Amino acid sequence: MLNIIEVARNTCTAADLVGERYGLTETEREMLHLLATGYRVPEIADALFLANGTIRNRLSLIYTNIGVQNQIQLMTMLHRIAASLTPNPA
């Protein structure tokens, strides 16, 4: 059975892979990582010392760059990648 820590680790790894694949900046990769760990826009803004509007604008650019329309599609993509990283039990 997969535990919550492994799922979280795989989701963060998926965020790192997506960031690398799509050539995201270091700040964009950090934003993606924070989203993957459950942070919301105000929490991301606080963590990165940026305004909420800046975070929203940057997320919109990330979505366009990756080819998704919203956070739900992004998280679905990350979870699918994370699932592919999980070894199948024998």
Each residue's pLDDT tens digit, 32-43:
999 988 899 999
Q: Mean pLDDT, to the nearest integer, of 7-12?
A: 75
User: In the structure, what pLDDT confidence band is assigned to residue 58 with cuts at 50, 70 and 90?
Assistant: very high
Distance CA 31, CA 4 (A): 21
- State the pLDDT at residue 56: 96
Residue keyed to tokens 């790192």: 16
Percent of the chain with pLDDT over 90: 57
The pTM of this model reads 0.81
CA distance 8 to 36: 8
* Residue 90: predicted pLDDT: 52
